[in-house]
Structure 1
Amino acid sequence: MRQFLAFALVCGLAACGGGRIDGIPHRFSDIDPYDWRGITPAHHPIHGIDVSRYQGDINWHRVAASDVAFAFIKATEGGDHADPAFAQNWQGAARAGIPRGAYHFYYLCRSAEEQAAWFIANVPYTPGALPPVLDVEWNHQSRTCRTRPDPAVLRAEILTFQRIVGVRYGQRPLIYTTVDFWSDNELWKLRGEEFWLRSVAGHPRQKFPGQSWAFWQYTGTGVVQGISGQTDLNAFAGTEADWSTWLMRRRL
């Protein structure tokens, strides 16, 4: 996925991003906004959310009315945990007409085969869904798993998950990750994968130098109509036309 930086660099904030001076698109808010400079989230026209049970009951029709273009919904974690709100969110987003995909939070103390099987057991094959997502990051608060695998071993495990899940759903998963995890494990060596990058204090061009990406998570303290409290906000890398092309290419 190209980064479409030429678009962002030449595009004026008000004309192309529809944003405010704080860099957040006008249809959303942020209770703890970063002081965005240069290329801001609002330079990107396509925005969406990712949610889990922590967002509580979501009014998906109000979310859709806020011009949310996509939603990634937590489904599973490790080899034995399923998000209790997944089915409700999965169905709610579909009824509201929001393109949605399911994500798996990777547990560093279980094999990729186990975790892929657990995800497959809990996420139905749904024609038209967005690609599945593998969320790989350090979990510093884990009470049961403090291991740090060798980077080469970890990358091999990621590729195993990608292969198994990709075959099942007909779409290779996106890889979601953070700045430190990407750097510590040299994830740029995973050639040909499509990334969803978290960077809440700078554009991915600055924080993930040279890395192509499809989605950017730019805050964890966003406010969206239809969701009580905070939620993550994300931007797609390209234009509205690029988004239409991406959907046609990646959705079944």
Structure 2
Amino acid sequence: MPPEKRTPIVKKPSTRKTVSRKKKPKPFPTQWKVAIAGLFLILLSPFYYGYVVKGFVGAWRWVTDWGQDPEYRTYNSFDIKIPKKYSIHGIDVSYYQGKINWQKVKTMKEDEVSIRFAFIKATEGILLVDPYFQRNWREAPKAGIICGAYHFFRPKRDGKTQAKFFLQVVNIEKGDLPPVVDVESLDGVSPLKMRAELADFLNYVEMKTKVRPIIYTGLKFYEDYLDGDFEDYPLWIAHYYQPKLRLDKSRWKFWQHSDKAKINGIGHVVDFNAFNGDSTALVEMLVK
């Protein structure tokens, strides 16, 4: 038998892999180095901060307030919007704000907005004295802030008794703002009963101090229960986050327009207020 035929093995020619060499990076152009160095110098310069950065901040304010009332602008340091038509601003405080550094409060300022006055909680009902009242009443005037004391009114309690208690705690002196009664709720009594007790409080305080007290209340509470009564008393109205107070300007003296202001020297948010008048009008309100 013939030998078995074998298929010859064909070998492929071997190829050598060429090793690619990495190209060395070209040196960074000198002109770019100079340009970057110059940019850093500009960023760090007072000119850049004074004009470019401040200009950017102003533009950002314009963008954030775009479409809003131009008389109701955001003030970044206070972290709230503030109506621009008022030149006298102030706060009101109680134990809720804790220990306050009044010197820092007084020196805080953005544009023309600064703290000129403060209403300070003194008493509530017939037994409660605010634990921070005496300190605040002493330290705020030392810092140059005009102060007024307020009583949180409880309609269930006798109005005259509350007035006596308030005046036992607060010594009202020349240069103070008029005393304030804060009435915010019915506390379960009828509107007629609330008004009767409130009248007793107001009459007693005015008789003893020879000063007409201020009534503080919310806009809704005023519209529902007080409108048409106590028209001879100055009003302090709470109405939040609005460019305008929805009440005839001739009726009110103070407007509490925010409860979220951030103030230097105070560790908690604060109520912020505007006075309806100029410096002369504020002085005319003070106790003589």
Q: TM-score range by the shorter chain?
A: 0.7 to 0.9
**1:112 equivalenced with 2:164 (yes/no):** no
1:226 corresponds, among 261, 265, 280, to 265
SS at match of 2:120: strand
1:183 corresponds, among 212, 215, 223, to 223
Please report how far the alpha carbon of residue 209 of structure 1 lies from its aligned counterpart in structure 2 after TM superposition: 5.4
**What CA deviation, in whole Å up to 9, does each residue of 1:168-195 have, x standing for no partner?**
2221110000122112213332221100
1:236 corresponds, among 256, 275, 282, to 275
Is the 1:171–1:250 contact (alpha carbons within 8 Å) kept by the matching residues of 2? Answer: no
Question: How many angstroms apart in 2 are the aligned matches of 1:249 and 1:229?
Answer: 29
Question: How many angstroms apart in 2 are the aligned matches of 1:173 and 1:41?
Answer: 26
Is the 2:155–2:198 contact (alpha carbons within 8 Å) kept by the matching residues of 1? Answer: no
**What CA deviation, in whole Å up to 9, does each residue of 1:11-45 have, x standing for no partner?**
xxx9xxxxx94735747523xx57xxxxx622211
**What CA deviation, in whole Å up to 9, does each residue of 1:106-136 have, x standing for no partner?**
0121010110011011111322211000000
Residue matched to 2:125: 78
Is the 1:175–1:196 contact (alpha carbons within 8 Å) kept by the matching residues of 2? Answer: yes
Residue matched to 2:189: 148
Residue matched to 1:29: 78
Residue matched to 2:236: 196
Question: How many angstroms apart in 2 are the aligned matches of 1:99 and 1:75?
Answer: 15
What CA RMSD, in Å, does the superposition of the two structures yield over aligned residues?
2.4
Please report how far the alpha carbon of residue 210 of structure 1 lies from its aligned counterpart in structure 2 after TM superposition: 7.4
Question: How many angstroms apart in 2 are the aligned matches of 1:135 and 1:106?
Answer: 6
- Unaligned runs of at least 5 residues, structure 2: 1-57, 59-63, 109-113
AA of the residue aligned to 1:46: I
SS at match of 2:84: helix
Aligned length: 216
SS at match of 2:136: helix
SS at match of 1:245: helix
Question: How many angstroms apart in 1 are the aligned matches of 2:76 and 2:209?
Answer: 33
SS at match of 2:115: coil
Give the TM-score taking structure 1 as reference length.
0.78
Give the TM-score taking structure 2 as reference length.
0.69
Question: How many angstroms apart in 2 are the aligned matches of 1:195 and 1:178?
Answer: 10
Is the 2:116–2:145 contact (alpha carbons within 8 Å) kept by the matching residues of 1? Answer: yes
Residue matched to 1:248: 284
Question: How many angstroms apart in 1 are the aligned matches of 2:215 and 2:137?
Answer: 20
SS at match of 1:176: strand
Is the 1:59–1:227 contact (alpha carbons within 8 Å) kept by the matching residues of 2? Answer: yes
Distance 1:71 1:77, change over 3 A: same
Residue matched to 1:7: none
2:97 corresponds, among 48, 55, 63, to 55
Is the 1:204–1:216 contact (alpha carbons within 8 Å) kept by the matching residues of 2? Answer: no
**What CA deviation, in whole Å up to 9, does each residue of 1:50-77 have, x standing for no partner?**
0001101111011111221100000000
AA of the residue aligned to 2:119: F
Residue matched to 1:214: 253
Is the 2:219–2:238 contact (alpha carbons within 8 Å) kept by the matching residues of 1? Answer: yes
Farther-moved stretch of structure 1 (228-237 vs 183-192): 183-192
**1:42 equivalenced with 2:84 (yes/no):** yes
AA of the residue aligned to 2:286: R
